Amino acid sequence: MTDKPELPAPGGKIVMEPAFKPVRIALLTVSDSRDESSDTSGAILSARVEEAGHILAARTLVTDDKEIISATVRTWIDASDIDVVISTGGTGLTGRDVTPEALMPLFEKQIEGFAVVWHMVSYQSVGLSTLQSRACAGVSNGTFIFCLPGSNGACRDGWDKVIRWQLDSRHAPCNMVELMPRLKER
């Protein structure tokens, strides 16, 4: 794909040792207006997850309903075969946008830096319109959760410029994959 960056995110590099470790990723599309055939954001993320060498462990679409969103992700974070959840949609400011309200209560730890970096990247694409997004991320039960807006551009920016690199075990100086074995430490 021509819009996919070839080099790691600024300040990082890819090292060949240790070897790449694929992670198991579940994708959730939150939308009242899309169905499986029109879920272009989910399709973009699905293709990019597999192109990067990761395992698409699950993919589903739900309506903008706080309880359904929360229950779906709760099932995934309780599963031992899912390492990462990425949601798309429901992060805006309208009354039906409830993804952060559904998922942030599940976070044991919020990843504040994700929102900051995502907005920096988004600003380069959409300017001040990035203010209309409540993209967020956190950790729950040893599972990383990333909440992206539902637009195709936001999903491309979120994956290509941020998430992809932190889920690449070869990304240096550090990445989230190397943290996974320690996420449940107490």
Q: Could you tell me which of 162, 149, 141 has the C-alpha nearest to residue 73? A: 141
- Location of structure tokens 């390492």: 83
Q: Is residue 73 part of a domain?
A: yes
Cis peptide before 173 (omega within 30 of 0): yes
Q: Total domain count for the chain? A: 1
Q: Is residue 86 part of a domain?
A: yes
Q: Is residue 176 part of a domain?
A: no
Q: How far is Cα 27 from Cα 45, in angstroms, rounded to an integer?
A: 8
- Owning domain of residue 100: 19-170
CA angle 46–78–136, rounded 5-degree value: 55
- Rounded to 5 degrees, φ, ψ at 85 are -120, 130
Task: Record the pTM.
Answer: 0.93
Whether 154 contacts 148, CB under 8 Å = yes
State the pLDDT at residue 5.
44
Per-residue pLDDT of the chain (186 residues; tens, 9 = 90+): 444 445 566 777 888 777 899 999 999 999 999 998 999 999 999 999 999 999 999 999 999 999 999 999 999 999 999 999 999 999 999 999 999 999 999 999 999 999 999 999 999 999 999 999 999 999 999 999 999 999 999 999 999 999 999 999 999 899 999 999 999 998
Q: Is residue 60 part of a domain?
A: yes
